[in-house]
Amino acid sequence: MTDCDFVAPPSGAPHCFEGPEKRLEIDFKANPDYPLGLRLVGKEQWQKMLDLAKCTIISQTSNDYFDSFVLSESSLFVYPTKVMLKTCGTTTLLRCIPLLLEYAQSFEMEVDYVVFSRKNFLFPRQQQFPHDSFPNETEYLNKFFDGDSFIYGPLNAEHWFLYVADYSKGEEAAARREFTLEIMMHRMDASVTPQFYRREGTGDHDKMPGIADLLPGSETDEFNFTPCGYSMNGLRDQAYWTIHVTPEDHCSYASFETNVSLVNPAKLNSLIHRVIGVFKPGVMTVSLFTSNKNNANPTIDLPGYVSRHRTVTEMQSCGAVTVWNFETEAIAKERSQPLLTRKSAWRSPYGRPREVRVVTEIIDSPSRPSDFEEIGMNLSRPGSPSSFSEGDRMEERESLDGDSLHAGMHAGMRETDSGSDNSDNELLCN
């Protein structure tokens, strides 16, 4: 399941939804004249920003520390000096940046730290600019920030993209206390997915049994989509956690994220065990960011799973990032067989054997996008002649919106525009 795998579903294929989310977090320097900072921004103003990403606020919950918004496509969390926005489907998350920065400037708050990340897409050709490739995302981000881009994991399997711009200095960086865990899960067990289809009598905000027990003592805001799909935001004092589920068997995906501090490896392992016990994924990627480099690279022991890859990076001033790829022992055993003898060897959701371009190099450490230009990847160096020109690509992508396949959640409904042209099934890497 890489950005190379699936381009557009063939005619008559089941509806497909892009579960893996795009994630943007921006931290700002506090302004003592505005102690509530970004929490002074009203719901209508946040919706105006989210219109740029093509998603809608469904519900809002707040506590003494932050505001939580469940969206038609994932979540928004707002602290006085931090915004974390996470959107799935074909949303255009990065287009929110100009208005978000405008809101911060109204309170005279300067950018301190920026992180954009996402897992590889299942259906990259359905994405709209600038999310049609990671180099375009990087170049778009560099219009506003001065950051670095990284790719974790093998390009012909599960991998994770990261962009970081750090403006903190000295004591500011040392004082940061950040801990973020993400678990991105594919191929959920068939016994799990039916739970996330809406049944007769199910209310929009009915609680999903067992979810709140993952982090006891939390307030949860849950939403059940029609005909299927589930989102949850949890508030636990100063920490958030969030879950999003796409249960369709042919593209099943679930994500879990929290910034609850879990520096104790035993507590970290316990939480991961509880999460995968609920969703039973066949394949998953785990990312861990910690501002304390001493807490980087903990041992994660998951019975029944095999760790395929692990990458650890120490950032100069903003902590460390560790990314793991896991798969079940059964899938690992199947993978060990010769390709032609496998019964279900990594087929696409539509039953056709997966087609992947040959990659002649295995990457075990994060690398800049430009490093892959010579190994068959369509990754343009930001600023090169092949990258987009100002305004041109934006207009081009917007003009294609009516013709591209779009699958999204809006106001609790999953929509499908079946008017796409599926004649081009050439698999490209993005």
Active-site residue list:
18, 21, 74, 88, 231, 244
Residue 224 DSSP code: E
Nearest to 44 by CA among 89, 90, 103: 103
Distance CA 292, CA 306 (A): 27
Number of C-beta neighbours around residue 322 at 10 A = 20
Distance CA 259, CA 270 (A): 15
For 411, phi and psi rounded to 5 degrees?
A: 50, 40
* Residue found under tokens 């008017």: 419
* Residue found under tokens 């591209």: 404
User: Residue 156, class by beta-carbon neighbours within 10 Å (0-12 exposed, 13-18 middle, 19+ buried)?
Assistant: middle
Number of C-beta neighbours around residue 170 at 10 A = 8
For 235, phi and psi rounded to 5 degrees?
A: -120, 125
Residue 64 DSSP code: S
Distance CA 15, CA 364 (A): 34
Distance CA 114, CA 193 (A): 34
Peptide bond into 369 cis (omega under 30): no
Q: Which tokens go with 88? A: 């799935």
Nearest to 140 by CA among 159, 119, 114: 114
Residues contacting 12, CB < 8 A, separation 6+? none
